[in-house]
Chains A and B, each alone.
Chain A
Amino acid sequence: MNKLTFHYFHLMPWPYLPADFDEKYDSAWVTLPNSIYDPIKGNALYNRYLDEIERADRLGWDSVIVNEHHQNAYGTMPSPNLMAAALTQRVKRAKIGIVGNALPLHDDPLRVAEEIAMLDVLSGGRIISGFVRGTGMEYFSYNVNPTVSRERMDEAHDLIIQAWTRPGPFAFEGEHYNYRYVNIWPRPIQQPPPIWLPGTASMETIDFAAKHRYPYMTVFMPMNQRQRAYDMYRRLAEEKYGYEAQPEQLAFCVPCYVAENDDIAMKEAEQYIMWLFDKGLKVRPQFFVPPGYMSERSLKAMIEGGGFGQKRTFKELVDTGVVIAGSVDTVVEKLSYYTDVLHAGMLVTGGHVGEIPDYLVLKTQELMAKEVMPHFREKAATPKSALLERK
């Protein structure tokens, strides 16, 4: 069995922010005027991103992943299922992840069940279905009451699982969702499609993931925080739910940049990856944690843990493990910490951030596939050059 699987994650960001963005705008979310978005450039960008993801498939990544975000420059996929549909026609081998659909934002989660079922049939049973609550910002963009976010998440989850696996028609009666007839056509090939839960270490999400044995994915957080999250997952699995958590249940989403040597990697990565933290994730604090979105327990842990809103240098991000950048040897060493010390078995990372040119994305994709992946594969893979293979 592979020690680590590799998942190519894309946000499809809008990198072309105005030169005065830092001074003029206090958030890349909710209120950033959409006049900044140029649909003509957007067309080229979408196609470039899809080409990039298709290349990751040819290079040997285990899956390609898209996700849902609304009304922001950080990620321009309000409907990730549309992108996944496009990918079913381009990605021939890898699994296709939607990590995930933001369930509480939708008044009709049966539609999510239907779309994922369609995608699973279209792709021949290659869909990974992530479920998320959506960021705090999206409760403003979609005007969903954040105080019922977790209730809606749990209920929509139950409905979708039943819709996929239970013979219909049947009635579903919940607090937030009611259907007289649940009877989806088509049904998914996988029974059910695998489910992942990304999170930012809130205790409730970790508990939910451990309870259902779903992979839990830590996102953009320092190593010590990831370690606490994994420890909590393992402890809950063992003590509360009676099983031993496996590495393939612990995923880590981390920006990862590989280059010829450490110096080049640090220099190139800093130039582009900082876009993610300084611009893409620039958010008004009140948007980040709307009232009732987090439990008091998780909010208290966040306040006392510090860090929110703190500006960090690129070196600090690398030193604390939020970002990985370096030569092949350095990256292998850092990933080995996840596999050997944290016993986490799924790397989720992407190439595109900010205005990074495509040749640098390709460089990282190829170095990861040809030089890094083999260290973690049971049998060394021999991916071919994406450029040579390109028709």
Chain B
Amino acid sequence: MASFDNLTAAMPLMPAEFNTDYLLSQYRQLTTLASLAWNPSYDPTLERRLERINCPTLIVWGQNDRLVPPVYGDTFHRLITHSELIKLEGTGHMPMFEKPVEWCSVIREFLQK
């Protein structure tokens, strides 16, 4: 839920009933996530590797992202030479759910350039 700025946008993902099956399915998903990302490794070489990207790049960030704050977007933008940064207002880590129209619009616009 921390991913969402507007909790009503998360409603389609909520189950009709909180039963054992739902809890187990959530546990299963979290287990998969943990098996991949329990120990996220900080990569001190990322900064210099980002500079190697030279193709047109779109960076879309939720203005109210609490999982990966927008300052990371600023840094990516600074390090990727031909990048464009768009921060979407009124959304957190899940702009594709919270602002689907704006999300699609900025991507479509970028791809048509």
- A interface residues, Cβ below 8 angstroms from B: 143, 145-148, 289-292, 296, 299-300, 303-304
- Tell whether B112 is near chain A: CB-to-CB under 8 Å: no
Q: Show the binding face of B for A, using Cβ within 8 Å.
A: 20, 23-24, 27-28, 30-31, 33-35, 38-39
Find B35's partner among A289, A292, A304 (CB 8 Å cutoff): A292
> Quick check: A145 and B38 within 8 Å, CB to CB?
yes
Contacting residues, chain A, for B35 (C-beta < 8 A): 145, 147-148, 292
Q: Are B20 and A303 in contact (CB under 8 A)?
A: yes
Cβ-defined partner of B20 (8 Å) among A145, A292, A300: A300
Give me 6 other A-B pairs in contact (C-beta within 8 A), A143-B39, A147-B34, A304-B20 excluded: A145-B38, A145-B39, A147-B31, A289-B27, A291-B27, A299-B23
A300 to B38, Cβ gap below 8 A?
no
User: Shortest distance in angstroms between A360's beta carbon and chain B's nearest beta carbon?
Assistant: 42
Instruction: Report Cα–Cα, A148/B38, bound state, in Å.
Output: 11
Residues of A within 8 A of B23 (CB): 299, 303
State the Cβ distance, B88 to closest chain A Cβ, in Å. 29
Q: Are A296 and B27 in contact (CB under 8 A)?
A: yes
Main secondary structure of the interface of B (DSSP, over half): helix
Chain B residues within 8 Å of A303, by CB: 20, 23-24
In the assembled complex, how far is the CB of residue A89 from the closest CB belonging to chain B, in whole angstroms? 39
Which of chain B's residues have a CB closer than 8 A to the CB of A289? 27
Bound form: Cα–Cα A290–B28 in Å: 11
Taking the closest CB of chain B, its distance from the CB of A390, in whole angstroms, is: 50
- Nearest to A146 among chain B residues (CB) is B34
- A296 x B39 contact (CB < 8 A): no
Can you name 19 A-B residue pairings with CB atoms under 8 Å? A145-B35, A146-B34, A147-B31, A147-B34, A147-B35, A147-B38, A289-B27, A290-B34, A291-B30, A291-B31, A292-B30, A292-B31, A292-B35, A296-B24, A299-B24, A300-B20, A303-B20, A303-B24, A304-B20
Give every chain B residue within 8 A of A299 (Cβ-Cβ): 23-24, 27
User: Cα distance A303–B24 when bound, in Å?
Assistant: 9
**Which residues in A have their C-beta under 8 angstroms from that of B24?**
296, 299-300, 303
Closest CB-CB distance, A176 to chain B, in whole Å?
13
Measured between alpha carbons, how far is A185 from B71 in the docked complex, in Å?
53
Which residues from chain A contact B27 at a C-beta distance below 8 Å? Answer: 289, 291, 296, 299
Whether the pair B39, A292 counts as a contact (CB closer than 8 A) is no
Shortest distance from the beta carbon of B70 to any chain A beta carbon, whole Å:
26
Q: Which residue of A lies closest to B24 (CB)?
A: A296
List, in ascending order, chain A residues with CB within 8 A of B31's CB.
147, 291-292
Distance to closest chain A CB from B11 (angstroms): 22
Give the CA-CA distance A281 to B25 in the complex, in Å. Answer: 27
A147: chain B residues at CB < 8 Å are 31, 34-35, 38
CA distance A296 to B28 in the complex (A): 8
Contact residues in A for B33 (Cβ distance below 8 Å) = 291
Provide the bound-state CA to CA distance between A292 and B34, in Å. 7
Q: What are the residues of chain A within 8 A of B20 when measuring CB–CB?
A: 300, 303-304
Min CB gap B19→A, angstroms: 9
CA distance A63 to B20 in the complex (A): 41
Out of A291, A296, A300, which one reaches B34, CB within 8 Å? A291
Closest to A297 in B: B24
Report the minimal beta-carbon distance from A140 to chain B, rounded to whole angstroms.
Answer: 10
CA distance A292 to B27 in the complex (A): 8
Contacts of B38 in A (CB 8 A): 143, 145-147
- Return the chain B residue nearest A148 by Cβ: B35
CA distance A290 to B30 in the complex (A): 9
- How many whole Å from A271's CB to the nearest CB in chain B? 36
- How far apart sit A223 and B24, CA to CA, in the bound complex (Å)? 26
